[in-house]
């Protein structure tokens, strides 16, 4: 069977020159670090306590319980058959994966045409911003009686999602009356958080109200699409089994200890070398496919939150052999490549100028789609474009972009995707998750936490008067106000 492939020809000095490309010797020098990273990742992933404590449970998502999936599919079908619209509330990992799935696996213009959607509900995403304009417009125009709401928040505390849900809940209650909770599904932590509390209270009164799909323990937000995104897939008619099968098969390929035969490891190794030895901190993710644009945005979060870290990792082994990872305060590293989403061919007319002639500090990843779902043949005979197909042109444009980058000694690589199907999309997601985890190992940082996002949250909580903030946090904010000199505002 065809599979996703990784073409890394243009990462080497033989393609892009000594200064900007990887040499075979660079790989040899890393062989011990690669073997250590493989064994460490394997060790923590087979230890149940480590895997859950360290947020590595996502590795097992492709093999989820089949009965649980059937239940999600049944619920999804019930919602799809009954409602015109679904509003999905969530942010970060509770949003980007769903958007990526919808863009890749549902027909383009899904919301606009009922026939394309096969009469499934329209899907609207909210709770991913505090800009009041979009939610306001949406609620003004939706009919609460025909709208189902999914609220996704692992912590149940995230301000953006919580605020949107408060407004949406009041809107539903007003439009429907006391049984409004039957039009809500909550996806949240099985034990903690204010959303969980709300679910438990509502369920005591009415078992059909605030139905809940639990998030698995040990699956962090950005690694959780194959868990929290399943209901959304079921509603939109995406083949969940195929997504999981693709992920599973990719997981098998990427478990090979030999990195020369493991595309996820190879991707991480080459990027690490170019980042650390050749000064390439910028990662351009450029699918040549409109439908994969949101997948590039999903990858931005995966890379930025997983690998953008201030401190190195300190590993301690407990008496039962499981591990605890902490930040090593003695070792400030400030690591992490900066991801930039782009898409071909659209952005060949914007960011590409900088990729070609700007600072040579970037590595571009292309995603090349071999077969599109549909094609268009250009009419006539007199134009050079006549008789050509769009699919030929987009592939030629991708090849041309590779060539142009190579000519300017700009390293790049290509993920070759046979087609944008549920199977290959599941494989693509899992490929990126494994390679990110492996890159975290090579950099010796914790790829599964995101302490950096706490700063803005704490500041907001402090200003909003939240109880229970750690005194050190309150003190820091109180003693270090933002200073605005009017002289510098003109
Ligand atoms: O990857 C992560 O863990 C984060 O990006 C979260 O997904 C994001 O902050 C949303 O969190 P929550 O699902 O708790 O609302």
240 CA from centroid of ligand 1 (Å): 22
DSSP lists the bridge partners of residue 22 as 12
On the 0-12 / 13-18 / 19+ scale of CB atoms within 10 A, 133 is: exposed
Residues 156 and 48 in one domain: no
Residues 6 or more apart whose Cβ sits within 8 Å of residue 187: 94, 150, 151, 152, 153, 212, 213, 214, 215, 228, 231
Residue with token string 């911003």: 129
- β-pairing, 338-341 vs 211-214, is unpaired
- Under a CB-based contact definition with an 8 Å cutoff, are residues 289 and 280 in contact? no
Residue 405 belongs to some domain of the structure:
yes
Residues 310 and 180 in one domain: no
Nearest alpha carbon to residue 154 among 100, 200, 215? 215
Residues 13 and 91 in one domain: no
Q: What is the CATH number of the domain that holds 43?
A: 3.40.50.10490
Residues 269 and 331 in one domain: yes
In short, whether 305's Cβ falls inside 6 Å of ligand 1 is yes
In short, whether 154's Cβ falls inside 6 Å of ligand 1 is yes
DSSP lists the bridge partners of residue 338 as 282
Each residue's pLDDT, cut to its tens digit, for the chain (490 residues) gives: 799 999 999 999 999 999 999 999 999 999 999 999 999 999 999 999 999 999 999 999 999 999 999 999 999 999 999 999 999 999 999 999 999 999 999 999 999 999 999 999 999 999 999 999 999 999 999 999 999 999 999 999 999 999 999 999 999 999 999 999 999 999 999 999 999 999 999 999 999 999 999 789 999 999 999 999 999 999 999 999 999 999 999 999 999 999 999 999 999 999 999 999 999 999 999 999 999 999 999 999 999 999 999 999 999 999 999 999 999 999 999 999 999 999 999 999 999 999 999 999 999 999 999 999 999 999 999 999 999 999 999 999 999 999 999 999 999 999 999 999 999 999 999 999 999 999 999 999 999 999 998 889 999 999 999 998 999 999 999 999 999 999 999 9
Q: Per the structure, how many domains does the chain have?
A: 2
Residue with token string 């439009």: 175
Residue 449 belongs to some domain of the structure:
no
Mutate to test the pocket of ligand 1, among 94, 225, 436 (most ligand atoms within 8 A of CB): 94
- Under a CB-based contact definition with an 8 Å cutoff, are residues 80 and 235 in contact? yes
Last residue of a domain, one of 240, 265, 295: 240
Residue 142 belongs to some domain of the structure:
yes
pLDDT computed for residue 455 by the predictor: 87
303 CA from centroid of ligand 1 (Å): 14
Distance CA 411, CA 283 (A): 11
pLDDT computed for residue 306 by the predictor: 98
Q: Which atom in ligand 1 lies closest to the alpha carbon of residue 228?
A: 13
Residues 214 and 247 in one domain: no
* Strand ordering across the sheet containing 5-7: 5-7, 412-419, 362-371, 282-287, 338-341
Residues 438 and 318 in one domain: yes
Residues 230 and 105 in one domain: yes
- Under a CB-based contact definition with an 8 Å cutoff, are residues 63 and 228 in contact? no
pLDDT computed for residue 287 by the predictor: 98
Nearest alpha carbon to residue 429 among 108, 170, 110, 93? 93
Mutate to test the pocket of ligand 1, among 99, 155, 304, 436 (most ligand atoms within 8 A of CB): 155
Residue 454 belongs to some domain of the structure:
no
Residue 201 belongs to some domain of the structure:
yes
DSSP lists the bridge partners of residue 284 as 340, 364
Q: Which residues form the catalytic set? A: 305, 349, 457
154 CA from centroid of ligand 1 (Å): 7
384 CA from centroid of ligand 1 (Å): 49
In short, whether 155's Cβ falls inside 6 Å of ligand 1 is yes
Residue with token string 């900066």: 338
In short, whether 94's Cβ falls inside 6 Å of ligand 1 is yes
- Under a CB-based contact definition with an 8 Å cutoff, are residues 92 and 228 in contact? no
Residue with token string 């990742």: 41
In short, whether 128's Cβ falls inside 6 Å of ligand 1 is no
Rg over CA atoms, the chain? 24
Residue 94 belongs to some domain of the structure:
yes
Distances (CA, A) of 309 to 3, 273, 376, 440: 33, 18, 45, 10
Nearest alpha carbon to residue 289 among 410, 427, 397? 397
Distance CA 53, CA 353 (A): 44
- β-pairing, 412-419 vs 5-7, is antiparallel
On the question of a cis peptide bond just before residue 345, with omega within 30 degrees of 0, the verdict is yes
**191 DSSP 8-state letter:** S
Last residue of a domain, one of 198, 223, 240: 240
In short, whether 222's Cβ falls inside 6 Å of ligand 1 is yes
Residue with token string 């450029």: 286
229 CA from centroid of ligand 1 (Å): 13
Where would I find the H helices in 237-381? 240-253, 263-278, 293-307, 351-357
459 CA from centroid of ligand 1 (Å): 18
Residues 6 or more apart whose Cβ sits within 8 Å of residue 182: 206, 208, 209
195 CA from centroid of ligand 1 (Å): 14
Nearest alpha carbon to residue 306 among 454, 160, 435, 428? 435
Mutate to test the pocket of ligand 1, among 125, 127, 151, 154 (most ligand atoms within 8 A of CB): 154
Structural domain boundaries, residue 214: 58-240
Residues 264 and 234 in one domain: no
In short, whether 188's Cβ falls inside 6 Å of ligand 1 is no
Residue 472 belongs to some domain of the structure:
no
| Closest protein CA for atom 9 of ligand 1 | 92
Residue 459 belongs to some domain of the structure:
no
pTM: 0.96
Last residue of a domain, one of 203, 218, 240: 240
DSSP lists the bridge partners of residue 446 as none
Residues 39 and 186 in one domain: no
Residues 349 and 401 in one domain: yes
pLDDT computed for residue 1 by the predictor: 79
Residues 36 and 166 in one domain: no
Residues 123 and 71 in one domain: yes
Distance CA 228, CA 214 (A): 8
- Provide the b/e sequence for 424-463 (b: ≥16 CB within 10 Å): bbbbbbbbbbbbbbbbbbbbbbbbbbbeeeeeeebeebee
| Closest protein CA for atom 3 of ligand 1 | 221
């Amino acid at each position: 069977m065809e599979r996703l492939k990784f073409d890394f020809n243009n990462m080497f000095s033989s393609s892009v020159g000594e200064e900007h490309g990887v040499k075979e010797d660079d790989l040899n020098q890393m062989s011990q670090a690669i073997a250590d990273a493989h064994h460490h990742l394997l060790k923590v992933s087979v230890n149940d306590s480590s895997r859950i404590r360290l947020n590595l449970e996502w590795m097992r998502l492709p093999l989820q319980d089949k009965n649980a999936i059937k239940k999600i599919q049944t619920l999804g079908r019930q919602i799809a058959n009954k409602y015109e619209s679904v509003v999905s509330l969530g942010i970060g990992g509770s949003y980007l994966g769903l958007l990526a799935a919808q863009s890749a696996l549902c027909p383009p213009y899904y919301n606009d045409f009922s026939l394309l959607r096969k009469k499934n509900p329209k899907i609207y995403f909210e709770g991913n911003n505090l800009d009041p304009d979009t939610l306001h417009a949406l609620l003004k125009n939706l009919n609460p009686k025909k709208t189902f709401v999914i609220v996704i928040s692992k912590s149940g505390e995230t301000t953006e999602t919580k605020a949107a849900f408060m407004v949406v809940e009041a809107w539903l209650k007003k439009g429907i009356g006391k049984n409004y909770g039957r039009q809500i599904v909550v996806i949240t932590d099985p034990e903690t958080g204010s959303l969980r509390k709300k679910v438990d209270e509502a369920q005591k009164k009415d078992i059909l109200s605030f139905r809940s799909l639990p998030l698995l323990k040990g699956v962090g937000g950005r690694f959780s699409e194959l868990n929290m995104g399943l209901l959304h897939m079921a509603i939109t008619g995406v083949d969940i089994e195929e997504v999981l099968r693709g992920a599973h098969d990719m997981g098998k390929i990427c478990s090979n200890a030999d990195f020369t035969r493991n595309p996820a490891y190879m991707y991480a190794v080459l990027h690490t070398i170019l980042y650390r030895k050749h000064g390439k901190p910028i990662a351009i993710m450029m699918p040549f496919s409109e439908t994969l644009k949101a997948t590039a945005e999903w990858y931005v979060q995966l890379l930025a939150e997983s690998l953008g870290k201030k401190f190195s990792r300190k590993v301690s082994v407990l008496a039962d052999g499981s591990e605890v990872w902490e930040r090593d305060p003695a070792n400030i590293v400030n690591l992490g490549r900066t991801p930039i989403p782009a898409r071909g061919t659209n952005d060949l007319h914007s960011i590409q100028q900088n990729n070609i002639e700007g600072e040579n500090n970037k590595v571009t990843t292309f995603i090349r789609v071999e077969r599109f779902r549909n094609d268009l043949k250009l009419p006539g005979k007199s134009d050079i474009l006549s008789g050509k197909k769009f699919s030929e042109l987009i592939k030629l444009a991708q090849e041309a972009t590779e060539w142009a980058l190579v000519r300017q000694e700009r390293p790049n690589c290509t993920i070759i995707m046979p087609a944008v199907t549920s199977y290959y999309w599941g494989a693509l997601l899992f490929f990126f998750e494994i390679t990110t985890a492996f890159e975290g190992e090579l950099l010796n940082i914790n790829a599964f936490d995101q302490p950096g996002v706490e700063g803005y949250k704490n500041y907001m909580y402090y200003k909003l008067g939240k109880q229970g903030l750690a005194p050190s946090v309150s003190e820091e904010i109180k003693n270090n106000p933002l200073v605005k000199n009017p002289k510098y505002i003109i």
